[in-house]
A and B are shown apart, each in its own frame.
Chain A
Amino acid sequence: MILVLSLAPLLLGFTRKTKARLLRRRGPSIFQPYRDLLRLMRKEVVLADNASWLFRSAPYLIFAATWVAAALVPTFATGLMFNWSADLIVITALLGSARFFLALAGMDVGTSFGGIGSSREMMFASLAEPAMIMIVFVVALIAGSTQLSEIAFHMLSHIELRVSYGLALIGLVIVAIAENGRIPVDNPATHLELTMVHEAMVLEYSGRHLAVIELASALKLLLYVSLIACIFAPWGLAPHGADFRGMAFGAVAFVAKLAVGGFLLALFEVSTAKMRVFRVPDFLGAALMLGLLGTLLLFVSRSL
């Protein structure tokens, strides 16, 4: 758990750095996020007059839910402690509850931008979740389980190439992009009022609250990357009860995967432009269709 926590900002920073590099900018150091967080920690909190207890407790809950979710994903070793306590659906749902609180917090102060953010976020979510479930469906069909470590183990044990994999992978990537509010769905860097989604919700946050939330979103990014990694590229995961070397190897592999993921993400973001809010549903609908297609193809291939 500590590991993911510590790595998350690094991934964020790395992504930003690469983006900047790709744009021929020098860009901030990859450790910049840590500094931001620490600075925010020290700043005092400016609280809107009619902010309620919900507003103040939300960041911690969001953070906690995301953190638990992230900790449930086998990062560098399968069969981590308590992995069995939840499966992929639970992870989705945990992120869902984090989102729930975030959206509520966005509406708590009673500003127009908060509302915009929450409503759009919920719309995206309402389309992203079915897609996610479809992907889970595909994966569960193949691996016969929704337990991540089981899935990873199964993937490791019999490597096979299937169309459905590809479809599911694309779908998952789309979902990940949408969920993390990256370009083209949302722009994490913008504060241009009418285009922001995630930023709009956290608009009223400041100081340590903001820090916690930023950390949580960084965690979320990490979570998705490691999720993709664990499902579609489970190589190097240390098996259950492996010795220290295996663990270390797994860790290295994990970091490498993160780097690759972050690089690809940056590449993608640089190469595309943000789309209009009402085109996002089509974008996510595509993911949903991919998932469905995956299942059907799977049936076909099974029946053959």
Chain B
Amino acid sequence: MGTLAFDVAHLFAGGLVLISFMLLYQDRMTGLINIFALHAVVLSLSVAWQAYVQHSPHLFLTAAIAIIFKATIIPLSLQRIMVRLRIHRDIEVVGGVGVTMLLGICLVALSLVVILPATAAADPLAREDVAFALSVVLLGLLMMVTRRNAISQVIGFMSLENGLILAATGAKGMPLVVEISVAFSVLIAFIVIGIFLFRIRERFDTVDVQELDRVRGGGR
């Protein structure tokens, strides 16, 4: 059982990392959103598995939140926004895929190197969970750094949050507060982002963040 639980959790977590790589790689808007949905699904699966393993039913709630919000609502609304903004067919240029991939791999390695020795005390399941979670977080950050398009940045951010949830669920018996707070904050975050995108839509014809940067006040 122990090994099985471990293997399954391992599988899901690893899958999450893998999908993060796909996100990093994908340059079509629509494809990006679909992959993010997949990301969320896998996350919810792993959360559910953790809930099952840890016998902590409240985690199922988190899983549900993940599957409902992240896997369904957000992708759909993002699709809508894109259609509204007429950028759903855009192909975003991702500078040097190979380099990005390489960087991502280095990040994964780094996260393993950092976490594994640090968590010698904790049980293996939590260890690799956190390690993968860290790599997901870093990959999400990397995505935010490399993408120029607001939507893909948001997606990067949300994959980052997925990583956080993975870590949170990995940590054994972490009280409910956190999950709720995460979901809550993600919800707020999403709403706010939505508001912003609409406002931005009112002002600009693209959601390109560099457009935003052009109108900065101050400076010289």
User: Per the CB under 8 Å rule, do A and B touch in the complex?
Assistant: no
